[in-house]
Amino acid sequence: MQQCVVITGGGDSVGRVMAEKFLAQGDRVHICDVNGDALAATLAANPGMTGTVGSVGAPEDVKRIFTEAFVAMGRVDVLVNAVGVAGPHGPIEALDNAAWEQTININLNGMFYCMKEVLPGMKARRHGVIINFSSGSTRTGLPNRTPYVASKYAVEGLTHTAARELGPHNIRCNAILPGAINNRRMQMVIERNAAAQGLTPAELKERLLRYISMRTMIEPEELADTVLFLASNKARHITGQMIEVSGLCEWEE
């Protein structure tokens, strides 16, 4: 059965891979992204996909995103909340209040705003799937990244509670916890941190992988395949789960 899917942060990286995989299996897909150039490039490469430029952290943008999604597709069966920001880095007492609030707003509030838009229709049809992106860092803790980790812990609380509340309406809600994703953003982080520590990127990557049981980074396609499974009828009784796709993160520095 064809599904109508909205993916936040669908302009590039994991979001784009997910959007293209849903489209390839015959689903209708609407994406949003704050990066207009990335969104335009993805739409140009994927005829039939639709999208909206906007920030999930701005309620007025979210209203517009879903107004356009409903016009394009008529309904939303699957919501993938993939948008996330890294937030500030530093000891708690030195963190800027505005940076803390921005991280919580985008990583947590944005998911809440998006869920509010799709739930009335999902309840009316007694069918829906919501997949939220958390982080493997909630399993390890990550010093000097408190806003990010706290926001992702909150995403898991939102997911679990929503699964309980929405289960009687036949709406499922799960969370994906990615590990170190092999994408452009992670490569830039490795290069920047390696330079700061006087290491080569290869040396820093080796140090990073020591704390992952399977000594591996995660490909965007792996996350996309997991999301497509959770959105499918094969996972029709899987809800309220926090699924780590990471090779098992043991520790982070």
Residue 71 carries which side chain, given as an amino acid letter?
V
Residue 168, pLDDT score: 98
Cα separation, 9 vs 84, whole angstroms = 8
Residue 253, pLDDT score: 80
Cα separation, 176 vs 11, whole angstroms = 19
Angle 103-128-57 from CA coordinates, rounded to 5°:
20
Cα separation, 174 vs 158, whole angstroms = 10
pTM of the model: 0.96
DSSP-assigned letters across all residues of 36-64: HHHHHHHHHHSTT-EEEE--TTSHHHHHH
What is the tens place of the pLDDT at every residue in 116-125? 999 999 999 9
Active site annotation includes 211: no
Q: Which of 113, 148, 153, 211 is catalytic?
A: 148
Written as tens digits, the pLDDT of the chain (253 aa) is 899 999 999 999 999 999 999 999 999 999 999 999 999 999 999 999 999 999 999 999 999 999 999 999 999 999 999 999 999 999 999 999 999 999 999 999 999 999 999 999 999 999 999 999 999 999 999 999 999 999 999 999 999 999 999 999 999 999 999 999 999 888 888 898 889 899 999 998 999 999 999 999 999 999 999 999 999 999 999 999 999 999 999 999 8
Cα separation, 168 vs 249, whole angstroms = 34
Counting Cα atoms < 13 Å in the Cβ hemisphere of 61 gives 17
Q: At 166, which helix (H) or strand (E)?
A: helix 146-166
Structural domains of the chain, ranges and CATH numbers in brackets: 4-182+218-245 (3.40.50.720)
CA-nearest of 199, 129, 139 to 170 is: 129
